[in-house]
Structure 1
Amino acid sequence: MSLVPTVNDLSFYSDEKRHLARYQTLSKSFARRYGSEPQFFARAPGRVNLIGEHIDYCHFPVLPMAIEVDVVAAVAECAGTTINISNTDETFAEEHIQIPQDGSTVSIDLSTALWGNYFKCGLIVAHKFIRESNPQHKLKAFNALFDGTVPTGGGLSSSAAFCIAATLACLKVNGVNEISKSDLTRITVVCEHYVGLSNGGMDQSASVNGEDSKVLLISFKPKLEATPFKLPATQPETVFLISNSLIVANKTETAPTNYNLRVVEVAIAADIIAKKFSLKAAHDSNLGTATLRGVLDSYSTQILGQTVWDGKNPEVGVERLQTMLDLIEIIYTEEEKNGISTKQAADLLGLSISDFTKKYLSKFEVRYNTLNVYRRSKHVYGDALRVMQTLRIANDFDGDSEKFLRNLGSLMDESQVSTRENNNASTPDCDELCRLGRQNGAYGSRVTGAGFGGCIVHLTDVDKLTALREALVEQYYRKNFPNLSDNEIDEAIVISKPAIGACIYEQK
């Protein structure tokens, strides 16, 4: 069993000296605010997804890596019945959370968009985890000061990193000194459900399970599992440059038309396939419906007589995903491929509009004119296919670095086209960054994270890195955001190797 580590130094950062100064500053700020030194620091990193977007909640494997930007909380127990949280970013006002004295979990008022709501998500899952072994446990009061370097709304999982850091802080204060990475992943995957976001589990799994110099193959079936592996050692060395479009994409605020709508559309799409072929598929989506992964497995086993795919074998995955891509081309008419109405969707599923609404539209708020079930299916199966193709070219690496990078770059570019055309999750600014990247040294560039703004990940090598960065600065940031300072530009461009995951830091 792999435990979330407790560390006594900051050598896991590439620039230990700079981060030591950061933690010392955070410690002093905590002492000024709360009158005591922090007892420990809870830390969780952001992540960048290399390929496989909007497919985790369909239970298809993805390929992210943890990165060095992170959320850190300085924490110390205090007297009383209140949890006090504050932030080094003064735009987030200090909040005071009263601990329920009847032993119940805290409640979240979704009518008010407070940053403390995300902290409460972590508090709720931590409290529930503690009560699994100690039902009578009463939460302790504590102070926490948060500091984050993950861009908010940038597509690098700032909210997941914050929720995980909050969860770790709550657990540690309440006497949980050891927790497995699998348990921390399990309990934090549902964190953001409490603020109305129907996410999958990629962000949390990547943040918890990150390893130095390794990317992660995160599988969801037959179980949630993160398998670290090294990409081929290329010459020159492979580098990932992450550029923030500075178009903020707040997943929670835009969820009804963006993120949650995609979740609903793929749930409907999966049930349409299941009905079309009379498949018995597990109802294991966030909506209690079938998933596109589930109907792939059911079609393979029940119609084609094949064994269940383990989600890791790329040869099997490529074949079966291509089968599903061929299948959806014949399921829908040309008119339906351009979107269907609520009534059309209900008719395809043999439901009344009221039953359709109750099943698909009542759990999370969504708003739409038409449901794009065909295009969403095409994106999900296509990007899942590209994940498997990435595994295959990595496994087949023959020492030709240029060929490997060009092949991987082509898959990233194809993913971006699908993100834009089939998932409508890119923006003109993101498209521009992708174009500039490809023109100036990137082998491939694509939107990473939920999309609708946020960050672009560029695949390049150390020889091309400087020219790529300079081109993005001059042709995107200086042009579109002329008032940005050099420091702000530095913060918008992240160059990171794969980093370690969540941890507790205790000063020596």
Structure 2
Amino acid sequence: MRVVEAFSTAYGTSPQTVWHAPGRVNLIGEHTDYNDGFVLPFAVPWGVTAAITPRSDGTIRLLSLQSPGEPVTLASHDASEGWTRYVVGVFAMLGDRVAGADIVIDGDIPAGAGLSSSAALEVSIASALNDLHDLGMTPMEIALLSQKAENDFVGMPCGIMDQAASALCQEGHALFLDCRSLGSRNIPLDLASHGLSMLIIDTQAHHEHASGEYAKRRAECESAARKLGVPALRDVTDLAAALDQLQGDERKRTMHVVTENHRVEALIGLLRAGAVAEIGAILNASHLSLRDQYEVSSPELDVAVEAAIRGGARGARMTGGGFGGSAIALVPLERLSSVEEAVSNAFAEHGFQAPRFLPATLAQGAHRVA
């Protein structure tokens, strides 16, 4: 394993533990997590692998195989910047339960694809430290600590979905998560047995949540909930009455969140009924809502979705936070090549960078690999 070899080269000894945490794709339930709603993500085969040995002096030494060079040495939390903030944030949240560590990380999540490399990094580090120090944290506690690191240390106001998917997903399943109660269950999703596949279309248009648009959407939702007198938009039961009380962007955001929660429940109902091929219409509706009501799509995402459907996909939508990143398409196995060709041709016609296609295998959540 190259992360172990790199650790030995950098630090002159073998790591005490090695953990892998995956990225995720969200099947349905977008921008509902921070509104106490429902989500249905699944883990992907790509993620972050962390090799770690603890230190007792409080120093953190970090080496990423995606940033070749000498290990970065951090004697204090304030010294972190860039990608190191996600690692140091986990240490900061654990406080005096841990000291320092020697760390090598290796990631293979496509950069900028919106598959949540940050959550994978946080969960891999937290899982390894939990193992090394026998902290006794459950997978959900690891997810919550990782989310807190991103919220409070990095300053990104994300919900719990990404970290929960990375920590809790099971191979061959999607994770149904109630983001208020944190109740969850893994739901089998065997697309191949229905002659289907889930295709990830990486638009190569790199998203950047930190631009402030993500935080703006969250603030709009919280403001709308206050005006409606509910704890969160998840609690809106009479959508028509709620919309009568709101205007502008807050009205549109509320419409998306409430209907998206209904779409999650509807899609799960179809899966339980074995009507897997019928979920495509729900994916289409989700994308239109994200494009028109939540306004987080992009020209590349819209072209990807429209071209995939023209090429024979049963349904498609943007996935993740938006403003770039990836779309997913539910595609009959025999139509994969025609869908990829249709999307590639559409991107060329619009002068976009060529897209990248990735097969969406439903993978295992965080686990020890050495």
Deviation at 1:182, TM superposition (A): 2.5
Match of 2:137 in 1: 179
Match of 2:208 in 1: 250
Q: How does 1:207-286 map to 2 (within 5 A)?
A: 207-221=166-180, 223-231=181-189, 235-251=193-209, 253-254=210-211, 256=212, 258-274=213-229, 281=230
Q: Secondary structure at the match of 2:358?
A: strand
Does 2:113 match 1:154? Answer: yes
Distance 1:263 1:26, change over 3 A: same
Match of 2:335 in 1: 464
1 CA distance for matches of 2:366 and 2:299? 34
Normalising by structure 1, we get a TM-score of 0.68
Match of 1:115 in 2: 83
- Amino acid paired to 1:57: Y
2 CA distance for matches of 1:453 and 1:413? 17
- Amino acid paired to 2:45: E
Q: Secondary structure at the match of 1:390?
A: helix
Match of 1:395 in 2: 272
Does 2:293 match 1:422? Answer: yes
1 CA distance for matches of 2:70 and 2:324? 26
- Check conservation: 1:47, 1:65, Cα contact below 8 A: yes
Deviation at 1:156, TM superposition (A): 1.0
1 CA distance for matches of 2:253 and 2:78? 34
Of residues 100, 103, 106, the one that matches 1:144 is 103
2 CA distance for matches of 1:378 and 1:30? 50
2 CA distance for matches of 1:177 and 1:328? 45
- Check conservation: 2:20, 2:368, Cα contact below 8 A: yes
| Offset from partner CA, 1:288-317 (integer Å, 9 cap, x none) | xx31124x3xxxxxxxxxxxxxxxxxxxxx
Q: Secondary structure at the match of 1:189?
A: helix
Match of 1:501 in 2: 365
Moved over 6 A (4+): none
Q: Secondary structure at the match of 1:480?
A: coil
Q: Secondary structure at the match of 2:243?
A: helix
Match of 2:306 in 1: 435
Of residues 47, 50, 56, the one that matches 1:73 is 50
Of residues 62, 75, 90, the one that matches 2:67 is 90
- Check conservation: 2:303, 2:346, Cα contact below 8 A: no
2 CA distance for matches of 1:57 and 1:108? 29
Match of 1:454 in 2: 325
Deviation at 1:444, TM superposition (A): 1.1
Q: Secondary structure at the match of 1:208?
A: helix
Distance 1:239 1:92, change over 3 A: farther
- Check conservation: 1:92, 1:115, Cα contact below 8 A: no
**Structure 2: 5+ residue runs without aligned partners?**
none
Match of 1:291 in 2: 232
1 CA distance for matches of 2:148 and 2:116? 14
Normalising by structure 2, we get a TM-score of 0.91
- Check conservation: 2:310, 2:342, Cα contact below 8 A: no
Match of 1:327 in 2: 241
Deviation at 1:52, TM superposition (A): 1.1
Deviation at 1:68, TM superposition (A): 0.7
Deviates further, 114-123 or 258-267: 114-123
Match of 2:11 in 1: 34
* Structure having the higher Rg: 1
Deviation at 1:170, TM superposition (A): 3.0
| Offset from partner CA, 1:108-136 (integer Å, 9 cap, x none) | 77xxx5211111111122336x3xxxxxx
1 CA distance for matches of 2:103 and 2:190? 41
Match of 2:282 in 1: 411
1 CA distance for matches of 2:250 and 2:61? 44
**Structure 1: 5+ residue runs without aligned partners?**
1-23, 100-105, 131-138, 275-280, 282-289, 297-319, 340-371, 483-488
Q: Secondary structure at the match of 1:62?
A: strand
| Offset from partner CA, 1:26-85 (integer Å, 9 cap, x none) | 222222222222222121100100111101100111111111111111222357442100
Distance 1:384 1:26, change over 3 A: same
- Check conservation: 1:61, 1:217, Cα contact below 8 A: yes
Q: In proportion to residue count, which structure has more strand?
A: 2
Deviation at 1:395, TM superposition (A): 2.8
| Offset from partner CA, 1:311-338 (integer Å, 9 cap, x none) | xxxxxxxxx4xx32x2233224xxx3xx
Q: Secondary structure at the match of 2:184?
A: strand
2 CA distance for matches of 1:141 and 1:149? 25
